[in-house]
Structures are given as C-alpha cells and as structure tokens.
Amino acid sequence: MELTITGFFGSNSSLLITGVLVPLATGVVWALYWYHLCPSDRRRSVVVKTQQTLRRYVLFESTHGKPESVLQAFKEYARRDRAIKELLFTEEQECFLKKAAKQRYPKTTLLLGTQCGFSAICLLQLLPADVILYAVEQDESMAESAEEMILVAGFKNNRFRLLCQHPVDAVHILKSQFGVKKVDFVLMDYRYDQQIEDLLALAKLDILNIGTLILINNTKHPMSKGFIENIGGAEGYRIVDSCKGLLKVEYVQSQ
C-alpha cells in the first residue's frame, strides 16, 4: 500500500515522496557516512590526490634543511586544502607534544601514522640527535611523500627509519630486524577506527615499558567516546591529560 499525503503537497504527493524525498534522504545518509563514518583508507584517497601538489609547494616555498621552514610551508598550504589541514597539529597540540616529549625524554620513539610527514618532523625536532625515530605508514604513496619531506627538512637517514607496513607488522619488524626491545614514547597519529586494535597490540607484543607515554590523536571524533572509556577503565593504562583531541596516556602495567 502506497503512502499518500494530501494538503500542501496535493494529490501527487506519493510521487513526490518516492521520486524526490527518498533519493534525497538516501543521498544525505550516504554523505554523512562518507565524511564521518567511512574507513580511513577510503578517505585517504582524497588526500593522496593532493600529495604531488603539496610536495611541490614545500619544495619550492621552504628553505631546505630548516625544519621550521618546512613545517611553515605545510601550514601555509593547509590554508587552501582542508584535507591536509586535518593532518596537521594545531599550535596548542604542538606545545602539548613538546611538553610530553620533554617530560619523558624518550630514547626510543615510535610514530604510527606518519601520513604526510608533518608529525615526524615535529618529533625529530624534539628528539636528541642520537635518538632514532621509527615511523610507520602503511599507505605506500603517503610513506614516499613523508620520507621526502623529512629529508627536505634536513634530517638524514640515520635519524629515522620509515616502515611502509601495517602497525602490528611493523612492531614485529622492529623487534626482529632492528633489535628494538622496548619503546618509551609512542605517537598514534591517524584516525580513530584502528587505534584501539593497535594500542592493545603494542602491549600484547611486549614492546611498551612501564611509564611509556602514548599520545593518541583524533580522539575528539564522536566515535572515539567508547575508545576513551575503554582506555580509562583498562588496568594497564592511565589517561594523563588531553589537548584538542590529542590524548596523553601512560602505560602503567607490564603484561
């Protein structure tokens, strides 16, 4: 039986509902899903299309060998590209990251979600010259762009190792090929949908020291509420502080 609404829409309202309103509502639902709930690997393709433009901009507009100049070029480009802007730290987050790094003085640092290279350059600025940053990015195009940007910023290959792997696979490689036994500072800089799996894997693979600081970005998303509640109630973790969706967690219990 077909629904008919009379009055304002008139006798042909059933056609209006089935022919216009239903497709319109379907389109709205799909748009909401795409921009807010779809997996990160689908949305990442939008960012990948801008990589060449971003790389050219940084290459031409920054002073090579100067990390601050390269970071500034990122920020200038982000004013014209919302997708890139979403990958960068805010000024408040940068200060928060700096304080966290000084608090821990990390000897071994792990970055999960290197993306365009911005967060890696931020971290390398803060780390002592003898500390290697292990950066992980599972998207091949992103990893290639990130490595070039890190080198343009002036950091040599002996300062970082960039692994194009799934985070869990990367941890196995760190232990088997690089001899990394523990890490004492972790930055997880990617979308919410993979974070809980990878965080639990870090503990399960026994690569966290007691006292390891873990900074988890993008926790302001509504879908991250359950994730934060789980972390707050977990025995092995303690939420310390947060800033603009950048959550600081301390690992307090060895498995």
Do the Cβ atoms of 253 and 212 come closer than 8 Å?
Answer: no
Determine how many CB atoms are found less than 10 A away from the CB of residue 85.
14
Nearest Cα neighbor of 124 from 55, 54, 60, 68 is 68
Q: State the Cα–Cα distance between residues 2 and 179, nearest whole angstrom.
A: 68
Domain boundaries, the chain: 90-251
What fold does the segment set 90-251 form as a domain? Answer: Rossmann fold (3.40.50)
Q: Is 42 exposed, middle or buried (0-12, 13-18, 19+ CB in 10 A)?
A: exposed
Nearest Cα neighbor of 212 from 188, 196, 245, 244 is 188
What's residue 230's pLDDT?
A: 72
With 0.75 as the threshold, say if the pTM is over it: yes
What's residue 45's pLDDT?
A: 43
What's residue 8's pLDDT?
A: 37
Do the Cβ atoms of 75 and 100 come closer than 8 Å?
Answer: no
Determine how many CB atoms are found less than 10 A away from the CB of residue 6.
10
Q: State the Cα–Cα distance between residues 26 and 42, nearest whole angstrom.
A: 20
Q: What confidence tens digit (pLDDT) does each residue in 119-139 have?
A: 999 999 999 998 999 999 999
What's residue 46's pLDDT?
A: 42
Positions of the chain with pLDDT lower than 70, given as ranges: 1-48, 232-234, 254-255
